[in-house]
Chains A and B, each alone.
Chain A
Amino acid sequence: MLKRFTGEREFSDFFNPILLRELKRAVRSRFFVGAFVLVQLAMILFVTFGMATATTTGQVQSISAIFWVIIGIYVVVLNPLMGFNAIAQEYRDGRHELLVITQLNTNHILLGKLFALNIQGWLTVLSLAPYLTVRYFAGAINPIQELLTVAGILYASIIATTLTVSSSAARTRWGRVVFFLFGGFLLFLFSGMAGTAAAGAGPIGGIAILIMFQSFFSFLFFMSASGMLNRQAVASAAVFDTTPMAAL
């Protein structure tokens, strides 16, 4: 028996192999390590200098806003952008066929890619917990507001990642761009419409309707991507293969 295979059933056996592989690869990547280190450095600077110099509530809120904008740019914009390559790279290297010929179906592959990318963002946000704790004990933050901001960033990262990973299942570069722009347009248009329609429903009702609409579109993007990946790899009548976005 090989040296590395001496333990009993592993915890990792319960997870999607694509997720494990992608995470393993990602946490070793320069992009993740670089971004992670930069975020930590920025946080140390904000916590030490920012909190020490901010005296009024307005100043504290401004610093807090900058803090979350930096995190938001990484988690909601930069990290999801990596999703554009998620499936496209598999096409380029001819691996998508090798994957679908296994017991994995296209949904497994997409979900693995999607969660791997999201978890990278979540890890970064999680690593901020010590700084948030320090700021809380310094009395500089409203914990409820901060937690809602974290939830908002994580939610936005899921939507953005779903859009980019789904776009990456298009065969051509132009296909990916069109999918992304069209998907983004649909998302904003219907989110805006839902937001307006839900204005009378109060903040919680409005947010619930917004989440419902955005989740619905994310699901459509995901299923469209699954259909596209299917068509590229498995031309099989018995496997789910439609493009819900086209149906719209």
Chain B
Amino acid sequence: MAETMIKVENVHRRFRNVQAVGGLSFSCAANSVVGFIGANGAGKTTTMRMMVTLDNPDHGLIEMAGYDTLAHPREVRNLVGWMPDHYGAYPNMDVLDYMDFFARAYHLRGTKRRARIDEVMDFTELNRLAERPCQTLSKGEKQRLCLGRTLLSDPKVLILDEPAAGLDPKARLEFKNLVRQLKQMGKTLFISSHILSELGEMCDSLLFIDAGRLVHHGDADSLTNGSVEGLVLRILTKGAPEKLQQFIEQHEQMAVRENLPKGASVNFVIEDGGNVEDSLHELLQTLLAHGIEVYDFHREPKRLEDAFVDMLTIKKN
């Protein structure tokens, strides 16, 4: 069984009247990429700050590689690299100076420091930007610089808060590649985001939180296929789509997700004990029997975003 790198057990954190985190528990294996997903204000950043010793839980336990964050903050800081969602650069400082400053702050000395900066700048492709002032970097370059800073201490665990926010598609692709390489290097990555599709692709498992509580822990497939009821169907018809819409309204099992010019994207719930194939066949037959001229009828893979929203709705109900 894989070694547990991150262990969060019944963690609570309250800020005055707001319960930011309420009884959160999960664990992450070493050398895995874990996505941490939740809406704004769900408690993601608070949880991550507690994991990197920048905040204390009111109650509960957080362990990083076996070290309690409260009892051994220094050991935890040696193990963990923290990349917050803000940039934190000094004005009038170039990229190399920035890296050099943080390398010194991590107590890297002499040749060891130079070698490490060189290695990290090479990995994050910052070498060609070495002489550039930090404030002139693009968003993607700044993110790479922040990641570079985080990697200077060669941490075992990387905790990245919204690292892909605001990046253009090319920069996102580069970032994904970096994540993949870091995993190959044996790092454990804990990444928060609300861009679910991206995390689904690069993460081994996903943690969904809402209002400071864990609502789902599993991989993307388990969320889109297994755990949430209902299928998404795309039904297109010849002629006016009103007939189809009337049909949907009359059937409790069906609900419109999105109206399309020639049909609709529909959420279809299979009755308890029902077989998927039989239910879909029956539905198609019924549609045709009602004179709805269906020319396109197929299952759509449920998007992670939709699955998450559905899951939240079900949990709340």
Contact = CB atoms under 8 A, between A and B. Distances in A.
B96 A4 contact: yes
A238 B73 contact: yes
Nearest to A4: B96
Interface residues of A, number: 33
Contacts of A9: 109-111
B54 A233 contact: yes
Interface stretch (B32-40, B113-121, B172-180): B113-121
B101 A17 contact: yes
Interface string A73-107: 00000000000000000000111011111111000
Interface stretch (A20-28, A50-58, A186-194, A200-208): A20-28
B96 A234 contact: no
B145 to A, nearest CB: 12
B56 A236 contact: yes
Contacts of B84: 94, 97-98
**Chain A contact residues, majority secondary structure:** loop
B77 A2 contact: no
A234 B54 contact: yes
Given A2-B96, A9-B110, A235-B56, A101 B90 contact: no
B153 interface: yes
Contact of A101 (B82, B96, B115): B82
A237 B70 contact: yes
Given A98-B84, A233-B54, A236-B56, A1 B110 contact: no
A58 to B, nearest CB: 48
B56 A237 contact: yes
Given A238-B70, A238-B73, A238-B74, A103 B54 contact: no
Interface string B116-156: 01100100000100100000000000000000010001000
B192 to A, nearest CB: 16
Given A17-B105, A237-B56, A102 B118 contact: no
Nearest to A5: B114
Nearest to A233: B54
Given A5-B114, A101-B82, A102-B153, A235 B105 contact: no
Interface in B93-113: 93, 96-97, 101-102, 104-107, 109-111, 113
Interface in A1-21: 1-2, 4-5, 8-10, 13, 17-18, 20-21
12 contacts: A2-B96, A2-B118, A5-B114, A17-B104, A25-B92, A28-B92, A93-B90, A97-B88, A98-B88, A102-B102, A236-B53, A237-B56
Interface of B: 52-56, 70-74, 77-78, 82, 84, 86, 88, 90, 92-93, 96-97, 101-102, 104-107, 109-111, 113-115, 117-118, 121, 127, 130, 149, 153
Closest 3 CB pairs of A and B: A17-B104, A9-B110, A102-B105
